[in-house]
Amino acid sequence: MLSWFKLKDFPQQIFNDDRVGSDDAYIDSIRALPQASRPMIILSNEDFSVDVNYWFKMRGLKIEKSIIFYRSIDAEPHIDLKEKSSATYIQPNYGINIEFFGKGTMAWYDLPEIQEKNIVKTVAGTPFIRFKESELEIIDYLHDVSQPVLVRTDIPHSVKMIKGPRLIVSIRFREIDQSDACPWEQILEKLKNDLCPRYQYDLRIPGMTRAFELSALGYIASLVEPGKTFVEVGSWVGRSSYAISKNLPPNSELHCIDTWDYTNAYGENLLDITKSHTAENANDFFVSHKGMELLKNQYTTNTDWLGVWKNYTSDCDNIVPFKMKSEDYSIPANVAGVYIDGDHSANALIADIKKFNISNNILICGDDCSLQYINGVVSALMQQETRERVFDDATTCRRTLIVLPCTKFWILLPTDGYWSNTFNLTELLQLL
């Protein structure tokens, strides 16, 4: 299950005394304290506003021990335990996190074998276990917790600072009349009407498409009409292929076009690019560093890159690979959209866009609209021929260029037809 969800209509008035969320003097007083004296304040339901308590009550939930904590350094991957301080008592826990000051990211990881000797306690006395990030596999990622977010803490999770320090409230809750927290799946079912939609992806697949861009691909794929075909130009080892495939409706196909012919020089270049994308760069919140490192040796020994792609997408039963150049691909009559992440030269991208710009009912999107490719992708998208086409019957296809904020993800949205009536930019931006 995905590890976080943004909440649609959580009350804006969080506390009885809203000073914490609005008074700059409050945060200034905390900053003035020595690091060891900065507070982790324990809260109860009496500290929260009537609106917040009512929100929980109407959903059969109650607030229990919650905290306000000030964070100025990264939090290593850790997992919360029950009060019995034993690894056999992993807390089936969740909370609603709200960030008042600063900016940070969160990540979640597969649960490794627990070592009880590593148990420690927080300032508040809560037992937890720390892990080494290098030994974990990341499975989920959140780049913005400024909105109220439902998160789980029963699997390893970490916090990294982007712009800090941060002041956060974490509201812990459980079902009324229950002595213990219910499973994550059960709380998702209970709150399903309050959650913004999430789209599947797998960060364990190597690549440079970031989590929020994968969510955008998932959103677009989910809007494809059942039975239609979506096309991907440039699939590499399947990071974006997986995200598109898993979110397509029933009876739809994904056609993945790639030569899967990668040289050693290409591989080394990818590794260099990947290492330049770090969590400290606010525009590049996460890239699969570990996954890229795992592929390093394959660039000197592997010739079957299609096989690598098939391995990473083995549980995607709606994918058809086409080992060829995009210019040799025959577009099916039922095509609904295309994601272009192949040759980034201006001429190649213009050719790919013109190839698929054959109907108002086809959405065209892609990656890498950035300064790095200002003479390629950016230049191509600025050309009028990529945004307007007059067909032989004198009808015209006009497209609006959209570049999602803090991403390199671009969309050429038709101004008429199926996608103009279905695509909702506001809904998509809520995912980012």
The predicted-structure confidence for 24-59, as pLDDT tens digits, reads as follows 666 666 666 666 556 567 777 888 889 999 999 999
| Residue 3 clears pLDDT 60, i.e. is over it | yes
| Percentage of residues in the chain having pLDDT higher than 70 | 80
Q: Look at strands 229-233 and 335-340 and give their pairing.
A: parallel
Lowest mean pLDDT among 29-43, 97-111, 400-414: 29-43
Residue 90: DSSP 8-state:
B
Instruction: Quote the Cα angle for 103-199-92, to 5°.
Output: 70
- Other Cβ atoms less than 10 A from the Cβ of 280: the count is 11
Q: What is the mean pLDDT of residues 302-315?
A: 88
- What does the alpha-carbon distance between residue 356 and residue 336 come to, in Å, rounded to a whole number? 10
Q: What is the pLDDT of residue 207?
A: 84
Residue 342: DSSP 8-state:
S
Lowest mean pLDDT among 32-46, 213-227, 236-250, 328-342: 32-46
Q: CA dihedral defined by 299, 304, 309, 312, rounded to 10 degrees?
A: -80
Q: What is the pLDDT of residue 283?
A: 44
| Residue 132 clears pLDDT 90, i.e. is over it | no
Categorize the per-residue pLDDT at 242 as very low, low, confident or very high, splitting at 50, 70 and 90: very high
Categorize the per-residue pLDDT at 411 as very low, low, confident or very high, splitting at 50, 70 and 90: very high
At 305 the three-state DSSP class reads helix
Side chain identity at 176, as an amino acid letter? I
- Cβ atoms of 391 and 360 within 8 Å: the answer is no
**Helices 211-222 + 239-247 axis angle, to 10:** 30
- Other Cβ atoms less than 10 A from the Cβ of 131: the count is 20
Q: What is the pLDDT of residue 66?
A: 84
- Cβ atoms of 328 and 301 within 8 Å: the answer is no
Q: What is the pLDDT of residue 325?
A: 95
| Residue 337 clears pLDDT 70, i.e. is over it | yes
Q: Look at strands 138-142 and 94-109 and give their pairing.
A: antiparallel
Q: What is the pLDDT of residue 291?
A: 66
- Cβ atoms of 228 and 252 within 8 Å: the answer is yes
Where residue 207 falls (left for φ over 0; alpha for ψ -120 to 50; beta otherwise) is left
Q: What pTM does this model have? A: 0.83
- Cβ atoms of 412 and 400 within 8 Å: the answer is yes
| Residue 88 clears pLDDT 60, i.e. is over it | no
- Other Cβ atoms less than 10 A from the Cβ of 238: the count is 27
